[in-house]
């Protein structure tokens, strides 16, 4: 397969990796799936599937042997990395395996959004088009379209066969009609796209997520270095649990330190009217670092209208567990549904804090207990209804009539209360034989 490449080309500026592979395959008259599988790892028995195409721009090394592609097409590793989000991910992690970094989770499109004028001029798909909320082509001042102008189908990346052609009706995508964005939409897209372009460039800047959280807190705190104003930060963020999430990252109190998401960071930067470039250049004074990470802080005064349950660090783990158990027992006593969401709202903490306290299993245990109690109460009610029904002395009773009166299917009742179904069966037999109740 590799010897058949009579046409070789280089990736274009801003091109996605799938687009580049499509152009190579089309130029050599090779089906795209056959072409990609010619670069699969030695020893991999099964073929690379179309469903894996969406990961090409994230983790190309996980999908195929990039070194094979480099040797065959005579390009550099840097060329391949520029066609993916590799540099963006490397900004936040020094690990070789970036697959565990969840910062882009759910933010990369699996459907094609495109500018028909760009396709007409260059015949390739841009990497930036894969980013959620990138909705405008700034070069042509038009909104991106996301469907074929002829068959009106939304186009999935995994179905693409040729550049600028619809994979479903095979007609050109260059004839799509585009809408004109408003001035406000265009201004936002200038800022939004510039953040992604900065992160996708190789500029040798690395910042771990805990350090990034510290810089955000420092900026939100008005660059005050002596103390942390949580009220000020919460007012600026206007994001549920935002301040707590940043603090947990900055203090390193999360079990998974790689859960900060790009959408959260972008919302904060938008609030600050700032950018990743500015954030990367912020220097954190040592005194502020200590103010954030210091564990022995004075207890917070409860403000009128707030819950009297502490929202931050309870000194001992046992006290935290007892606090959660107390709330769970209240839920059972008041017949309030036990869910992680309800518990964290009651405590005024985030899901990450509850997980850090080690209380997820405890919540699951109490939830199971509550379910058992509720089922016992329900069974007791059904039992009383059954006894009342048979006490009426109705002639010619049958199972269908009994279960219709109870409003429950026999099989469902048998699964949760086999003793009641057995009781109904026995009583029906007695009724048929005319035995006294």
pLDDT tens profile 111-143: 999 999 999 999 999 999 999 999 999 999 999
DSSP state of 153: P
3-class DSSP state for residue 342?
helix
Residue 69 is predicted with a pLDDT of 92
pTM of the complete model: 0.64
User: First and final CA of the chain: distance in angstroms?
Assistant: 84
What average pLDDT does range 320-349 have in this prediction? 86
How far is 143 from 136, CA to CA, in rounded Å?
4
Confidence tier at 310 by pLDDT (50, 70, 90): very low
Strand partners, 154: 147
Does residue 341 have a pLDDT over 70? yes
Cα distance between residue 273 and residue 262, in whole Å: 16
Q: Residue 344: which H helix or E strand, with range?
A: helix 340-347
pLDDT in tens, 245-272: 777 777 776 655 556 788 888 888 887 7
DSSP-H helix ranges across 43-143: 60-63, 66-73, 77-82, 86-90, 116-122
In terms of Cβ atoms closer than 10 Å to its own Cβ (0-12, 13-18, 19+), residue 52 is middle
pLDDT at residue 293 greater than cutoff 90: no
Cα–Cα distance, 100 to 82 (Å, whole number): 20
Q: What is the pLDDT of residues 207-242, one digit of tens each?
A: 777 788 888 888 877 766 666 666 666 665 666 666
Residue 431 exposure: Cα atoms within 13 Å on the Cβ side: 19
Report for 53-67, 369-383, 399-413: range of highest mean pLDDT? 53-67
Structure tokens at 365: 């245990």
Q: What is the pLDDT of residues 10-48, one digit of tens each?
A: 999 999 999 999 999 999 999 999 999 999 988 877 888
């Amino acid at each position: 397969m590799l010897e058949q490449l009579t046409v070789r080309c280089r990736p274009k500026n801003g091109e996605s990796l799938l687009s580049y592979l499509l152009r190579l395959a089309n130029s050599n008259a090779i089906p795209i799936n056959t072409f990609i599988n010619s670069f699969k790892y030695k020893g991999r028995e099964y073929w690379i599937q179309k469903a894996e195409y969406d990961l090409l721009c994230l983790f190309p090394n996980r999908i195929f042997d990039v070194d094979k592609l480099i040797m065959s097409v005579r390009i550099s590793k840097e060329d391949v990395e520029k066609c993916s989000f590799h540099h963006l991910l490397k900004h936040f992690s020094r690990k070789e395996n970036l697959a565990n970094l969840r910062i882009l989770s759910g933010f990369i499109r699996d459907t094609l959004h495109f500018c028909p004028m760009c396709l007409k001029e260059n015949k390739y798909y841009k990497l930036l088009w894969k980013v959620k909320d990138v909705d405008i082509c700034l070069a042509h001042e038009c909104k991106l379209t996301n469907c074929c102008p002829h068959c009106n189908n939304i186009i999935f990346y995994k179905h693409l066969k040729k550049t600028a052609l619809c994979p479903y009706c095979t007609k050109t995508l260059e004839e799509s009609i585009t809408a004109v964005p408003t001035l406000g939409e265009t201004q936002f897209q200038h800022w939004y796209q510039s953040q992604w372009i900065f992160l996708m460039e190789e500029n040798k800047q690395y910042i771990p997520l805990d350090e990034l959280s510290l810089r955000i807190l420092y900026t939100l705190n008005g660059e005050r270095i002596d103390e942390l104003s949580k009220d000020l930060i919460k007012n600026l963020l206007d994001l549920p649990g935002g301040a707590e999430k940043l603090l947990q990252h900055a203090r390193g109190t999360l079990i998974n330190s790689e859960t900060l998401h790009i959408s959260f960071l972008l919302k904060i930067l938008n609030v600050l009217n700032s950018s990743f470039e500015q954030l990367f250049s912020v220097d954190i004074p040592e005194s502020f670092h200590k103010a954030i990470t210091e564990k022995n802080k004075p207890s917070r005064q409860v403000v009128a209208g707030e819950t009297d349950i502490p929202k931050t660090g309870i000194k001992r783990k046992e006290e935290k567990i007892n606090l959660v158990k107390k709330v769970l027992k209240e839920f059972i006593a008041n017949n309030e549904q036990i869910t992680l969401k309800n518990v964290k709202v009651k405590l005024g903490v985030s899901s990450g804090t509850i997980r850090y306290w080690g209380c997820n299993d405890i919540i699951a245990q109490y939830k199971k207990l509550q379910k058992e109690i509720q089922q016992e109460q329900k069974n007791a009610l059904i039992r009383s209804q059954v006894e009342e029904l048979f006490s009426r002395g109705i002639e010619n009773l049958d199972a269908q009539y009994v279960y219709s009166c109870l409003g429950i299917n026999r099989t469902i009742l048998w699964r949760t209360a086999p003793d009641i179904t057995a009781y109904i069966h026995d009583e029906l037999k007695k009724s048929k034989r005319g035995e006294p109740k």
